[in-house]
Each structure stands twice: as structure tokens, then as C-alpha cells.
Amino acid sequence: MAAVSANVRAESDVPLWSNPQRPDLDIRQLDIGQLPSVRKFLFGLDTETRCRRFGAPLSNAELELLAITALETAELMLGIFSEQRLRGILELYRQGSSCGMELLIVVERASRRRGMARRLLNASMVQAFGLDARSVDLIYTGDNWPMRRLAQRAGARIDLAFGTFRARIDLARKPIIPRHLTIPTVDELPGLSGQPGRQC
């Protein structure tokens, strides 16, 4: 019995993204062609989720503008799908000319506690490493317990400043990442809606 407990404890100590075996087929790279799916996802977020992710209970019109900006300017934008619907979004932005990136993530309330945020983070770390990033920062408020657990499990170094947590994941300390893994775009999969190309 003690041996079983030791094995469980050892597995939980391994960062979730340290050695991915294969691409996650539910995760797709998003572009402006998926604006309708992103818009529908954001409009479905409840007030509390909007506040946690954006810092305020933004209107649908404000969310649409942010969606367009994110799709056009993020270094990488990933979506996780279930039953052909977008359930969560992750954005990566480069911090100036540095080798650091900032990560933003949101999962709809109905799809939480199913490991979707962990899977998005896992996929994004592989991609960030491929983009020559050496660190990724997650910034969140102190009462955002799901983000705190996610950051801790990723092995992040967590600092607190003015009531806001900054969790830094050091990619340079994780050399065993297969650089050949790629995230397909939504348009590469049959059965998922999304119009390729730009929409005005």
C-alpha cells in the first residue's frame, strides 16, 4: 500500500508539460477565420468569469473587439474543443523583445474541472519553446484558486505584488520537450466550423 502512495505522489510532482507524448487532438491553433466561434465562446461567459479574465464585466461589443485584437496580435492562440464546440482559449504574447511570454487563459464554467486548462497549458508550453521563449508568465488575482493550482502544478515560481500573483514557468530548465510537435489549425480538421481567411 505504501508503494502505491509513493507512486501517486511521485507522478503528481512531475510538471504537467515536462514530457508530452503526442499532440492533443482537441486543441487547435486559432486565427481570424475562427472569429465566429471565439465570439460565441466569449459571449457565453458568465459575469464572474469575464471579471476574472478581463478585469471587468465587459459587454459583448467590448468582448468582440478584444477577440479581433487577440486573433490578430497574439503570438499564439489556442482553443480546446469538445463536441465540436470551443470550450476554452489560451493566448500567448511576447513581452517586448525579450525571450519571455505572457499567457492568458479562460475556460467556460460548464467545462471546468475536466483538465482543459491543464491541457491548454501543456500544448502552449511546447509551442512557446518552439518559438524560442525561455519563460512564460501567468498573472492572476489572489482569489483565483484554479489559476494558482495550475501554476503550482506547472512548477512555476510564484511572486506576489500588490495583490496580484505572477507565476513564471522557466522553459530553459525543461530541456526534454519534443520540438517537432505541432498544433493543427481548426481548418485542418473535418467537422469543425470555421471560415479560413480574414473576415471584415
Q: What is the pLDDT of residues 107-134, one digit of tens each?
A: 998 888 888 988 998 888 888 888 888 8
Which pTM value belongs to this model? 0.72
Give me the pLDDT at residue 155, please.
82
- If pLDDT is split at 50, 70 and 90, which confidence band does 174 have? low
In this structure, what C-alpha cell is assigned to residue 74? 497574439
**140 CB-side CA count, 13 A:** 23
Strand ranges for the chain from DSSP E: 27-29, 76-82, 85-94, 100-107, 135-141, 157-161, 164-170
SS3 52: helix
Cα–Cα distance, 117 to 114 (Å, whole number): 8
Q: Is 159 exposed, middle or buried (0-12, 13-18, 19+ CB in 10 A)?
A: exposed
CA angle 133, 138, 139 (to 5 degrees): 135
- If pLDDT is split at 50, 70 and 90, which confidence band does 3 have? very low
DSSP state of 23: -
Which of the two residues, 18 and 49, has the higher pLDDT score? 49
In this structure, what C-alpha cell is assigned to residue 107? 475556460
Q: How far is CA 136 from CA 18, 65, 159, 175, 196, in A?
A: 14, 25, 14, 15, 29
